[in-house]
């Protein structure tokens, strides 16, 4: 089959790889009908190379049709239409019983000191072949796959794999008080949906980005926006909009590659030049994240407010302003989304033909899997108005 494979920094290729097959009774194999490129894939594309292997298949936002199931998979069968969550979770361990699916103890990567395995996501997370491919082997398929009805287009459902539950969790964990305000940093797919969900739940959402078409998309969904190019001091601008106090909550939907952190950008490039055996432990022990947005979040949130980080970070010695965080009494929450935990909340909204979250207005590009390298390039460099790229195998 054809699949999108990683070969080096900004070097991904569509190649022929072996067809996946059932290896365990808890596996399923699906034929992928739509699969997306995520901001997390961009970290793999640019910065996290030391944790990837030549030929690793990327992708963690697939949906499709079940081809075959193992003997212990009973909630789905061949021919069913399913969305695959990006976390691989068993559904029955101590963590899964508490709906902490991103920490599943059956698929945790203990030798790496990391949480549950993820599709298409580095040696840290199990090096499981990903879903930017024609077919996908789904481990723990007795639990993971989300059945969806026939009828509506793939675009209605594909964001259940990651974007919508991640955004939902970002808002839920931001713990916004009733009628309160939340600032959303970053208007990629995660920020767009976080802001829309916040508004849907009755909160005031103020979003920040610096890419015109992303700002425009948020505006047409009724989101208040600050254009970072027009403000030297975003936290001050946010205080001006919130009675001088700052928003009740903030969401970081940017992550480790924030624009405007020149020193750290240099450190990231440097680790990219080192041999993997040196770079990987260095990245795990050194400060390599570009923290400008985290700092703005800390400065923006009101005293005793909550900061919800969904952007991915990777370093270990990143300097944090502990005095300010302690004095302001900030609550901080972060981590990979527990995808299936939020599906019951979100499913009625994607099944609603009125499209309350506007899922029909997120993808800007649809292209064949064969063009995926081009998709990565335009999504990373924000060419051609790219906000979300969907691939058709």
> Does residue 191 belong to the site contacting ligand NAD (CB under 6 A)?
yes
368: left (phi over 0), alpha (psi -120 to 50) or beta: beta
| DSSP assignment letter at 188 | S
All residues at 6 or more sequence positions from 116 whose CB lies less than 8 Å from its CB, including other chains: 87, 88, 89, 95, 101, 102, 103, 104, 107, 108, 109, 125, 336
* Shortest Å, Cβ 186 to ligand NAD: 3
Nearer Cβ to ligand NAD, position 27 or 61? Answer: 61
* Shortest Å, Cβ 218 to ligand NAD: 10
Measure the CA–CA gap between 369 and 263, rounded to whole angstroms: 36
Measure the CA–CA gap between 226 and 245, rounded to whole angstroms: 17
Nearer Cβ to ligand NAD, position 12 or 312? Answer: 312
- Interacting positions 222-251 with ligand NAD (CB under 6 A): 228
- Interacting positions 155-174 with ligand NAD (CB under 6 A): 162, 166
Nearer Cβ to Zn ion, position 29 or 38? Answer: 38
Q: Do 285 and 219 meet the contact criterion of CB atoms below 8 Å apart? A: no
Q: Residues 209, 248, 289, 299: which binds ligand NAD (CB under 6 A)?
A: 209
> Does residue 83 belong to the site contacting ligand NAD (CB under 6 A)?
no
Measure the CA–CA gap between 25 and 168, rounded to whole angstroms: 32
DSSP 3-state assignment of 131? coil
Q: Residues 310, 315, 340, 365: which binds ligand NAD (CB under 6 A)?
A: 310
Q: Residues 52, 190, 198, 217: which binds ligand NAD (CB under 6 A)?
A: 190
Measure the CA–CA gap between 268 and 167, rounded to whole angstroms: 27
Phi then psi for residue 112, to 5 deg, are: -100, -5
> Does residue 106 belong to the site contacting Zn ion (CB under 5 A)?
yes
> Does residue 139 belong to the site contacting ligand NAD (CB under 6 A)?
no
Half-sphere exposure of 174 (CA within 13 A, CB side): 36
> Does residue 124 belong to the site contacting Zn ion (CB under 5 A)?
no
Nearer Cβ to ligand NAD, position 104 or 187? Answer: 187
In the list Zn ion, ligand NAD, none, the entry touching 214 (Cβ below 5 to 8 angstroms by class) is ligand NAD
> Does residue 52 belong to the site contacting ligand NAD (CB under 6 A)?
no
Measure the CA–CA gap between 297 and 300, rounded to whole angstroms: 5
Nearer Cβ to Zn ion, position 111 or 232? Answer: 111
> Does residue 268 belong to the site contacting ligand NAD (CB under 6 A)?
no
* Shortest Å, Cβ 90 to Zn ion: 4
- Partners of 391 in the β-ladder: 35, 367
> Does residue 26 belong to the site contacting Zn ion (CB under 5 A)?
no
Q: What sections of 208-364 are H helices per DSSP? A: 212-220, 234-241, 262-273, 276-285, 292-300, 322-328, 343-351
> Does residue 363 belong to the site contacting Zn ion (CB under 5 A)?
no
> Does residue 20 belong to the site contacting ligand NAD (CB under 6 A)?
no
> Does residue 122 belong to the site contacting Zn ion (CB under 5 A)?
no
What would the DSSP string read from start to end of 20-36? Answer: P---STT-EEEEEEEEE
Sole window of 36-44, 69-77, 138-146, 267-275 interacting with ligand NAD (rule: CB under 6 A): 36-44
> Does residue 56 belong to the site contacting ligand NAD (CB under 6 A)?
no
Residues that bind ligand NAD (CB under 6 A): 38-40, 42-43, 162, 166, 185-191, 208-211, 214, 228, 253-255, 258-260, 292-293, 310-312, 336-337
């Amino acid at each position: 089959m054809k699949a999108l494979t990683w070969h080096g920094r900004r070097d991904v290729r569509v190649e022929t790889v072996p067809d996946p097959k059932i290896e365990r009774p808890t596996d399923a194999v699906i034929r992928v009908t739509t699969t997306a490129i995520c901001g997390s894939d961009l970290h793999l594309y640019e910065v996290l190379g030391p944790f990837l292997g030549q030929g690793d298949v990327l992708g963690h936002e697939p949906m499709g049709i079940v081809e075959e199931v193992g003997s212990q998979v009973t909630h789905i069968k061949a021919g069913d239409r399913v969305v695959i969550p990006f976390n691989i979770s068993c559904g029955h361990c101590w963590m899964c019983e508490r709906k902490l699916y991103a920490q599943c103890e059956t698929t945790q990567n203990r030798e790496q000191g990391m949480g549950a395995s993820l599709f298409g996501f580095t040696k840290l997370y199990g090096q499981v072949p990903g879903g930017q491919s024609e077919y996908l082997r789904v481990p723990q398929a007795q639990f993971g796959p989300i059945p969806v009805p026939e009828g509506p287009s793939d675009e209605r459902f594909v964001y259940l794999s990651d974007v919508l539950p991640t955004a939902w969790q970002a808002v839920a964990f931001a713990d916004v008080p009733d009628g309160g305000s939340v600032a959303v940093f970053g208007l990629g797919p995660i920020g767009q949906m976080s802001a829309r969900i916040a508004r849907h739940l009755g909160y005031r959402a103020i979003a920040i980005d610096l890419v015109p078409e992303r700002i425009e998309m948020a505006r047409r969904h009724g989101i208040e926006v600050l254009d970072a190019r027009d403000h030297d001091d975003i936290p001050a601008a946010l205080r001006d909009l919130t009675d001088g106090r700052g928003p009740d909550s903030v969401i970081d939907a940017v992550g480790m590659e924030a624009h405007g952190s020149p020193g750290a950008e240099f450190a990231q490039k440097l680790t990219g030049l080192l041999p993997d055996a040196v770079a990987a432990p260095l990245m795990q022990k050194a400060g390599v994240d570009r923290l400008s947005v985290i700092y703005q979040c800390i400065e923006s949130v009101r005293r005793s407010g909550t900061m919800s980080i969904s952007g991915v970070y990777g370093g270990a010695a990143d300097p944090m302003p502990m005095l300010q965080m302690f004095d302001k009494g900030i609550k901080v929450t972060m981590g990979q989304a527990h995808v299936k935990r939020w599906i019951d909340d979100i499913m009625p909204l994607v099944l609603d033909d009125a499209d309350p979250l506007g899922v029909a207005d997120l993808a800007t590009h649809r292209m064949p899997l064969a063009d995926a390298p081009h998709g990565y390039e335009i999504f990373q460099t924000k060419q051609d108005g790219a906000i979300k790229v969907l691939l058709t195998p």
